[in-house]
Amino acid sequence: MSNTTREKILSTARTQVQAHGYDGLNFRDLAATIGIRAPSLYHHFPSKAALGAAVARRYCEDVQAALDAISQEHDTPRACLLAYPGIFRKALDGDNRICLASFLSAQSDDVPEEVQTEIREFININVTWLAGKLSQLEPETIAMRRADAIYAAVAGAQLTARGLGGLPRYDGIIASYRAVGLLPA
């Protein structure tokens, strides 16, 4: 059911975004890969912004799915929080190495509103999940703030490691977070 032209555009665009970011999304190349011409894309997506937003929405669905998977695999909230950094680690590791950080990083003016909305959604999905786990361990008010802090710290670790040091550095930073008690050890 995923063989429609629209679906092919989406998955190819995703690959292109992963490799070169939102700005690297190229309509002529994208169309050529699929076997159509650039103007044809506008029959499926009204603009590059809309296509970018659709790709970002995919990312949101993916994190949500990954978070749900963690929730099901692990019994205790503590075990879930232990597994959490693995999501960003995998994104840093594999071909999906961009996660949403590249979108995030693009500044407000560059990225169109539709895409920004999805970025916000991505943050909210993460923080909401974290707060849900944390609220089983500590008072609700603290849990909310702590969820924010954990997401920011892990996202920052991914960003820093991409800039310099790669996976080993990411692991080191996460270990430090655990040593200090920001994350359960």
Residue 156 binds which entry of DNA, a second copy, none, with Cβ cut-offs from 5 to 8 Å by kind? a second copy
Binding positions for DNA, rule: CB under 7 A: 5, 25-29, 31, 36-40, 42-44, 47-49
Residue 160 binds which entry of a second copy, DNA, none, with Cβ cut-offs from 5 to 8 Å by kind? a second copy
Sequence-distant (6+) residues with CB within 8 A of 23 are 106, 110
The size of the interface with a second copy (CB under 8 A), counted in residues, is 47
Q: How far is the CB of 31 from DNA (least distance, A)?
A: 7
Task: Quote the distance between the C-alpha of residue 87 and its chain's center.
Answer: 9
Question: Is residue 137 involved in binding a second copy (CB under 8 A)?
Answer: no
Residue 145 binds which entry of a second copy, DNA, none, with Cβ cut-offs from 5 to 8 Å by kind? a second copy
Residue 120 binds which entry of a second copy, DNA, none, with Cβ cut-offs from 5 to 8 Å by kind? a second copy
Largest CA distance in the chain: 56
Task: Give me the phi and psi of 76, to 5 degrees please.
Answer: -90, 150
Please report, as ranges, the residues that interact with a second copy according to CB under 8 A: 19-21, 23-24, 98, 101-102, 104-110, 116, 119-120, 123-124, 145-146, 148-149, 151-157, 159-164, 169, 172-173, 175-177, 179-182
